[in-house]
């Protein structure tokens, strides 16, 4: 069906599709989870509308296996099936990693909210591809530790990191970077001996939100595979009626190691 108003639409499609997917898992190979998916294409001025059902059909065609390597194929198929010049996909999903408690070694699953966001232009090249993770962390206030005689307040927070990159990497490795830059990890199960370890470790490793984003930025800046990143840290303050917040965005100029570096 044609439209005579001569107005192109940047994005049309479907939003908030709940769909079972399979993602790559560094330890187990594959992991089944449930994603929330947004899928859009551009709509030329002479088209009245797009074919909404075809978006979900494309998910079936790809057999629900979602990973960084195959992401361009989904965008390319969207363009082909919907006669579009540009395609955009956002996939958000919970990802689970089995973690050991630090002392008792009891295993439990930790949930991390992850995402993949991609766009493809008329040349069939990836215009943008971003991977993100949201990591629960614990921080202990350096100021509180300095002025308090008997302890210091700490709080749970969420740190979100989004990256652009050159080559495939594991989501787990990005999560590990974030956790190492906190006062301490968060765990699903802790026994008394674990709680003692975690609280004492946090006490010896105080961090402001500013420290968290700077420490993560320092680590990512040394990785030549990462070309751009944003870091967002929010602490849900335990003694204030507000959150503490910090954000930064950087283009990464880290260079690839040359042969001279390899000999050192």
pTM for the model stands at: 0.89
CATH level 3 topology of 9-263: Urate Oxidase (3.10.270)
Task: Please tell me what DSSP assigns to residue 256.
Answer: P
User: For 186-236, how does the pLDDT look when each residue is reduced to its tens digit (9 = 90+)?
Assistant: 999 999 999 999 999 999 999 999 999 999 999 999 999 999 999 999 999
Residue-level pLDDT at 43: 85
Distances (CA, A) of 137 to 114, 202, 207, 256: 15, 11, 11, 31
Q: With 90 as the cut, is the pLDDT of residue 55 above it? A: no
Residues paired with 91 in a beta bridge: 37, 116
Residue-level pLDDT at 111: 97
Over residues 53-58, the mean pLDDT reads 84
Residues 6+ apart with CB under 8 A from 137: 156, 157, 158, 159, 178, 179, 182, 183, 184, 185, 186, 212
User: For 138-186, how does the pLDDT look when each residue is reduced to its tens digit (9 = 90+)?
Assistant: 999 999 999 998 889 999 999 999 999 999 999 999 999 999 999 999 9
Residue-level pLDDT at 236: 92
Domain map (residue ranges) of the chain = 9-263
- The rounded distance, in Å, linking the Cα atoms of 182 and 234 is 12
Q: With 90 as the cut, is the pLDDT of residue 45 above it? A: no
Residue-level pLDDT at 260: 46
Confidence of residue 5 (pLDDT cuts 50, 70, 90): confident
Please, what is the end-to-end C-alpha distance for the chain in angstroms? 66
């Amino acid at each position: 069906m044609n439209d005579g108003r001569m107005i192109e639409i940047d994005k049309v499609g479907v939003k908030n599709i709940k769909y079972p997917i399979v993602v790559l898992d560094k330890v187990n190979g594959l992991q089944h989870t449930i994603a929330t998916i947004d899928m859009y294409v551009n709509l030329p001025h002479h088209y009245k509308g797009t074919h909404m059902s075809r978006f979900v059909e494309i998910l079936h065609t790809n057999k629900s296996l979602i990973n960084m390597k195959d992401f361009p194929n989904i965008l390319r198929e969207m363009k082909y099936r919907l006669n579009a010049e540009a395609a955009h996909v956002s996939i958000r999903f919970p990802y689970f990693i089995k973690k050991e408690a630090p002392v008792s070694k009891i295993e439990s699953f930790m949930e991390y909210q992850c995402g993949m966001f991609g766009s493809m232009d008329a040349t069939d090249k990836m215009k943008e591809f971003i991977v993100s993770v949201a990591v629960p962390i614990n921080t202990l206030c350096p100021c509180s530790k300095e002025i308090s005689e008997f302890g210091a307040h700490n709080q749970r927070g969420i740190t979100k990191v989004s990256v652009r990159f050159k080559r495939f990497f594991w989501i787990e490795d990005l999560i590990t970077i974030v956790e190492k830059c906190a006062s301490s990890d968060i765990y699903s199960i802790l026994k008394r001996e674990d709680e003692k370890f975690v609280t004492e470790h946090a006490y010896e490793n105080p961090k402001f939100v500013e420290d968290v984003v700077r420490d993560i930025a320092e680590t990512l800046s040394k990785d030549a595979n990462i070309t751009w990143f944003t870091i967002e840290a929010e602490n849900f303050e335990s003694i204030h009626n507000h959150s503490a917040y910090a954000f930064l965005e950087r283009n990464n100029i880290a260079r690839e190691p040359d042969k001279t570096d390899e000999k050192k």
